[in-house]
Copies of this chain bind each other. A is one copy, B any other.
Amino acid sequence: MIRIAMLGSGRVGQVHAASIASQAGAELALVVDPIEAAASALGAKYGVKYSLDVQDAFEDASIDAVVVGTPTNTHTEMLERAVAAGKKVLLEKPIDLDLARIDATWARIADKAPFVMLGFNRRFDPSFREVRERVAKGEIGVLRAARITSRDPQPPPAAYLAVSGGMFKDMTIHDFDMARFQAGDIVEVSAMVSTNGLEAFEQAKDHAQAIVTMRAASGALVTIVNSRSCAYGYDQRLEAFGDAGSLEAGNWTATTVRAASATQTEAAGPILNFFLERYMPAFKNEMAEFIAAINEDRAPAVGFADGRAALLLAEAAQRSVQTGSVVKL
B261 contacts A250, C-beta separation under 8 Å: no
Partner of A190, one of B151, B192, B194: B192
A267 and B230 CA atoms in complex are apart in Å by 17
A37 and B264 CA atoms in complex are apart in Å by 38
A260 contacts B243, C-beta separation under 8 Å: no
A251 contacts B271, C-beta separation under 8 Å: no
Q: CB of A101 within 8 A of chain B?
A: no
A102 and B251 CA atoms in complex are apart in Å by 46
Given the known inter-chain contacts A253-B265, A268-B264, please indicate yes or no for A221 contacting B245, CB distance below 8 A. no
CB distance from A37 to the nearest CB of B (A): 19
* Complex interface bits, A202-243 against B, C-beta within 8 A gives 1, otherwise 0: 000000111101110001110101010111110000000111
A268 and B259 CA atoms in complex are apart in Å by 10
Q: Which residues of B contact A147 (CB under 8 A)?
A: 225
Partner of A326, one of B192, B223, B271: B192
Given the known inter-chain contacts A145-B209, A267-B264, please indicate yes or no for A247 contacting B256, CB distance below 8 A. no
B269 contacts A264, C-beta separation under 8 Å: yes
Partner of A255, one of B126, B215, B241, B324: B126
Q: CB of A130 within 8 A of chain B?
A: yes
A243 contacts B265, C-beta separation under 8 Å: no
Partner of A139, one of B223, B259, B326: B259
Whose C-beta in chain B lies nearest to the C-beta of A188?
A: B192
A190 contacts B213, C-beta separation under 8 Å: yes
Given the known inter-chain contacts A141-B231, A192-B326, A232-B246, please indicate yes or no for A268 contacting B267, CB distance below 8 A. yes
Q: CB of A51 within 8 A of chain B?
A: no
Q: CB of A257 within 8 A of chain B?
A: yes
* Complex interface bits, A304-329 against B, C-beta within 8 A gives 1, otherwise 0: 00000000000000000001111000
Using A127-B255, A144-B209 as known contacts, list a sample of 15 further A-B pairs with CB atoms less than 8 Å apart, ordered by residue number in A. A127-B257, A130-B257, A144-B208, A144-B227, A145-B209, A145-B227, A151-B241, A190-B324, A227-B241, A231-B262, A232-B245, A232-B261, A249-B256, A250-B258, A266-B267
